[in-house]
């Protein structure tokens, strides 16, 4: 049975939706990592990450790497991840903002793009299923790498807090020790989610356009 025009449009819609889903999952990990790096509580992290753009998130994470007890090789790898995310922003903006339709063969997506900064161009851009598979896999890999940055940050923060607790006076004894550890651990240092807040509510991905 021959595909209808509606079938082809539904495929195109699904392809764009799939890409944006993988992008949103990656940006979720950016938000969680900012919470870990800055030691924010869940509500603080939700408000902060909701009101900054992607480039700001990358700047925050990049700057925070310099104050973590990481090797230069680890920092280099993590910066490569951040650069990988920046390299995908044009694709994200295209999927989010450009008009599209099914490709000529009906198996992909064709974008109607206009470039008018300095020069005027109307480039022909088509996504096929192989390209989409590769891009979604790369976004998943970037998300995993960002998650590892957050894990490193949590470990570093908790080690620093334990060191502070060991040197802080215990209220009843006036001596440093582990008895004071609880007073130094922030509410969310052992996990992300408060009892009353779901992860979707706490870390909703910003929807504002980002150029």
- Residue pLDDT, tens place only, 175-207: 544 444 455 545 444 344 344 444 454 445 444
Cβ–Cβ < 8 Å for 38, 193: no
Distance CA 9, CA 57 (A): 34
The stretch 112-132 carries a mean pLDDT of 92
Give the model's pLDDT for residue 9.
96
Residues in the chain: 211
Model confidence pLDDT, tens digit, residues 66-93: 888 778 888 899 999 999 999 999 999 9
Element containing residue 110 per DSSP (H, E) = strand 109-112
Distance CA 98, CA 120 (A): 16
Helices (H) and strands (E) in the chain, counts: 8, 3
Percent of the chain with pLDDT over 70: 73
Over 50: is that where the pLDDT of 116 sits? yes
The structure's pTM equals: 0.73
Q: Pick the residue with more confidence: 158 or 24?
A: 24
Closest CA to 31 of 142, 198, 195, 150: 150
Over 90: is that where the pLDDT of 48 sits? yes
Q: Alpha-carbon torsion 153, 155, 161, 163, what sign?
A: negative
Cβ–Cβ < 8 Å for 60, 175: no
Over 70: is that where the pLDDT of 168 sits? no
Distance CA 178, CA 163 (A): 9
């Amino acid at each position: 049975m021959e595909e209808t025009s509606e079938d082809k449009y539904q495929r195109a819609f699904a392809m764009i939706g799939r890409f944006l889903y993988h992008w949103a999952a990656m940006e979720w990990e950016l938000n969680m990592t900012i919470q870990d790096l800055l030691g924010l509580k869940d509500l603080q992290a939700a408000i902060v990450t909701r009101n900054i753009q992607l480039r700001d998130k990358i700047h925050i994470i990049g700057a925070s790497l310099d104050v973590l007890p990481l090797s230069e090789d680890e920092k280099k790898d993590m910066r490569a991840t951040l650069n990988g995310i920046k390299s995908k922003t044009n694709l994200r903006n295209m999927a989010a903002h450009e008009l599209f339709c099914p490709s000529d063969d009906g198996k992909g997506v064709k974008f109607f793009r206009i470039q008018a900064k300095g020069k005027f161009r109307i480039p022909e851009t088509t996504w096929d299923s192989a390209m989409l598979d590769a891009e979604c896999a790369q976004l998943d890999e970037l998300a995993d790498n960002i998650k590892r940055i957050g894990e490193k940050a949590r470990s570093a923060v908790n080690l620093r807090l334990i060191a502070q607790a060991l040197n802080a006076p215990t209220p009843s004894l006036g001596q440093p020790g582990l008895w004071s550890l609880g007073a130094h651990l922030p509410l969310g240092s052992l996990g992300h989610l408060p009892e009353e807040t779901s992860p979707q509510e706490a870390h909703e991905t910003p929807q504002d356009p980002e150029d």
